[in-house]
Amino acid sequence: MMNKNESKEIPLLPGERIDDLHRNQYQIIQNTKKFCFGMDAVLLSGYAKVLPGEKVLDLGTGTGIIPILLEAKTKGEHFTGLELQEESADMARRSVALNNLEDKVDIIVGDIKEASKLFGVASFDVVTSNPPYMNHSHGIVNPDLPKAIARHELFCTLEDVIREAARVLKQNGRFYLVHRPFRLVEIINTLSTYKLEAKRMKLVCPYVDKEPNMVLLECIKGAKSMLKVEAPLIVYKEPNVYTDEIYDIYGY
């Protein structure tokens, strides 16, 4: 039987590379010409809480970064990534195999809008999502389809993500979201519509004297209204030098 951290020969397609995740000796397959995971996904994996025995669904998993990192960082029982694009899902599955995680992580090809039909209602303890940040009113859509799907709401909206998260979560289940502060009012209103109550919020600032460019949220299904705004997370203490908290989240 292969050791969990023993390397495995996994085929790479043209343009693909293997990157180190600095957690449990895990690695991930990426293609720089398509779409590579960003800091937002790593920060979300550090913000989400997964307890022993819990089952987790990541909506729009891309190349599987969040389920793989959560498996490394937590004692959750099982992790599922839902991804619309077959090409990204294939990379995610090969990364799962590369790390010998086939018994802990599943990658499913499917539409976020159909998540509750695919998995059933009240079927997960935790849902995570790093969804497209931009709608049709926000900027120019990238001509490269994989990047466009990741950045713009071409195939699902913020409401689709929140609605399906609420449906697949058990009562008192937790939804973790990373998004942009400029859509925060819309996010909170939509969460409330689907009985997901924002309970914790952390703003992410590039520098201590700069305005936030990301927001992390923890929401609980069916909870009462009370929001804790945590101290902001500062990314850089000087150009190209992360703060200690960022280094800790990355595992350096």
In whole angstroms, what is the distance from residue 17 CA to residue 15 CA? 7
Residue whose token pair is 């307890």:
51
Domains observed in the chain: 16-250 (3.40.50.150)
Q: What CA–CA distances, in Å, run from 151 to 4, 81, 133, 136?
A: 33, 18, 6, 11
- How many CA atoms, within 13 angstroms, populate the side-chain half-sphere of residue 74? 25
Q: What is the pTM of this model?
A: 0.90
- Predicted local distance difference test score (pLDDT) of residue 133: 73
Q: pLDDT 10s digit of each residue in the chain, 252 long?
A: 344 545 568 989 999 999 999 999 999 999 988 888 999 999 999 999 999 999 999 999 999 999 999 999 999 999 999 999 999 999 999 999 999 999 999 999 999 999 999 999 999 999 999 998 755 554 444 445 454 444 544 568 999 999 999 999 999 999 999 999 999 999 999 999 999 999 999 999 999 999 999 999 999 999 999 999 999 999 999 999 999 999 999 987
Centroid of chain to Cα 160: 16
- Predicted local distance difference test score (pLDDT) of residue 204: 98
